[in-house]
Amino acid sequence: MSEADFLPQEVIRALRDGQEPASDDIARFIAGLTDGRVGEGQAAAFAMAVFFRGLSREGRVALTRAMTESGRVLAWDLPGPILDKHSTGGVGDCISLALAPAVAACGGYVPMISGRGLGHTGGTLDKLDSIPGYVSQPGLDAFRKAVREAGCAIIGQTVDLAPADRRLYAIRDVTATVESIDLITASILSKKLAAGLDGLVMDVKTGSGAFMPDLAGSRALAQSIVDVAEGAGLPTRALITDMDEPLAPVAGNAREVAFIIAYLKGAHADSRFHAVNCALGGAMLALGGLARDTSEGEAMIARAIASGASAERFARMVAALGGPTDMVERAEAHLVAAPVMRDVTAPRAGYIARIATREIGLAVVALGGGRVQPGDGIDHRVGVDALAGCGAKVDAGTILARVHARDEETARTACARILAAFTIADAQPGPAALVADRIGG
């Protein structure tokens, strides 16, 4: 079929009827998505057809390659391995902001291309946009310069990198097709392959706050990503980590940045967040040959946090991308606060037995901290912090969460929703496994 004869609707029809299109036709469809020949309605229909019918391994590879090749693919000349991590998303998952500078402090280079919020989860770029002056979508020259100077740079997709994914990513968010293993695999890996990496570590979430709430689905996604990445020549490992409660005790863009800066300065070093950060960083350092194994890598990450070296790299990255030069020292002076704060308190004594984590994320979206439509603005001020964790002993009146809102009405609604997300029982639950599985290697 020639380019002139190509009809996007025939690709959609084939997928709808369970007949996987040829790799060349998938590539033509993605090329049309990039140059505008494929309309938004057709892209939405394509996403829905893939969601319901799925793709074979070969189809996933074809889709990933087409999306990678829709733009520029970077090459690096740096004195260390080019490493990255990607999370499938969750609530309170601001690991990237701490992990990238920690790996940089250990000798790696981290050119991290991240996305905005999808569904109930927060987006790394939305968090960074709460930092005044930070340019989250710089030109490639500025991106390269920041990576050289700071050892890491977290940015969004530029017009040059995986542009087809940028368009499809926004459509998935508002068409209930976020959870497709095929689309998640291609979206993640097209950006990572375009970044010119030497190694990738995936953080695949499982639990009530994850896109894949059951362990079987999370394993299937992790295996898909590892298989497609390895098939494309990118060494990849995957960790499946717990999202049955928020990873950090905070959700919301500016609130998460404030948490990260406090963490990098020495707070919360015994938390679940710290354990997952070290596990992912250890795997990255081992994959890049900077540590003998993951155990040594985990110890190196912990030292980089404790010594302040990670905080220094974070400060360098923020300054290199246009943010304040004193962001670490004076975070609260730069992060705008919400005008209304209200506490959510326990109605009775007991133990926190369960948290409906997705509901916490949806409460933040309803506050204005997430999007309902692709073009929606974000209120970076709003969110939740002081979140109590599963297993915590509480008395009547103990603070379960603190809501940061733009007005009293949205605060009341969020407080009610968050209170309903907590289940308090008489017996203390057993601890959850932070890392449920490791795939690859």
**Is 187 considered catalytic here?**
yes
Cross-strand partners of 156: 114
Does residue 84 have an active-site annotation?
Answer: yes
Catalytic residue among 65, 116, 166, 172: 172
Q: Reading across the β-sheet that carries 83-87, which strands appear in turn?
A: 83-87, 199-206, 236-242, 435-439
Q: What are phi and psi of 403, to 5 degrees?
A: -95, 135
Q: How far apart are alpha carbons 181 and 216 in whole angstroms?
A: 12
Choose the catalytic residue: 85, 255, 313, 417: 85
**Is 205 in the active site?**
no
Q: Which of 34, 64, 68, 87 is catalytic?
A: 87
Rounded to whole angstroms, the Cα distance separating 253 from 359 reads 17
Which residue in the block uniquely carries the two structure tokens 């896109």?
211
List 120, 191, 313, 417, catalytic entry: 191
- 84, 126, 129, 165: the catalytic one is 84
Q: Which of 64, 114, 185, 187 is catalytic?
A: 187
Q: Active-site residue 192, yes or no?
A: yes
Q: Which of 124, 177, 218, 357 is catalytic?
A: 124
What span, in angstroms and rounded, lies between the C-alpha atoms of 108 and 102?
9
- Cβ neighbours, 10 Å, residue 13: 14
Q: Which residue in 60, 65, 86, 404 is the catalytic one?
A: 86
β-strands 199-206, 236-242 pairing: parallel
C-alpha 147, offset from chain centre: 20
Structure token pair of residue 151: 């050892």
Q: Decide if 119 contacts 102 (C-beta within 8 A).
A: no
Catalytic residue among 120, 192, 316, 334: 192
Q: Name the residues annotated as catalytic.
A: 84-87, 124, 172, 187, 191-192
